Amino acid sequence: QVQLVESGGGLVQAGGSLRLSCAASGRAFGTYAMAWFRQAPGKEREFVAAISWSGVPTYYGDSVKGRFTISRDNAKNTVYLQMNSLKPEDTAVYYCAADTAFRSSPSALRLSYDYWGQGTQVTVSS
């Protein structure tokens, strides 16, 4: 079992930055991949970024490449999402997720992730 709690969301102006955190508990954190997804009203949940258990490799959705950075601190049981150059279209609820299955690389597929946090709202004003 894995429990995930996101924090760090809020309201920011376009061009600004936010850093999301996701604290994990339960199963040993350094043994599974993590990811961030987001869901805007009326839209499907979208892949944002993923990171392997060791921190390398990382993958990003096309819409956030070059602006967002995923990282993890296994000593603190936490994964982060640094979001820079935010745009109004980044407005969504952001979810962290854990994939406890063994895979050769982190997945971008929502169905690969078996544990989810409750989400944190990010709103970017124009």
Confidence of residue 27 (pLDDT cuts 50, 70, 90): confident
State the sign of the Cα–Cα–Cα–Cα dihedral 89, 65, 57, 71.
negative
Average pLDDT in the chain: 96
| Structure confidence by residue, pLDDT tens digits, 62-94 | 999 999 999 999 999 999 999 999 999 999 999
Q: Give the pLDDT score at 102.
A: 83
Residue 58: how many CB atoms within 10 A of its CB? 16
Q: Is the pLDDT of residue 103 over 90?
A: no
Looking at residues 43-52, what average pLDDT do you find?
97
Look at residue 32 in the predicted model and tell me its pLDDT.
Answer: 94
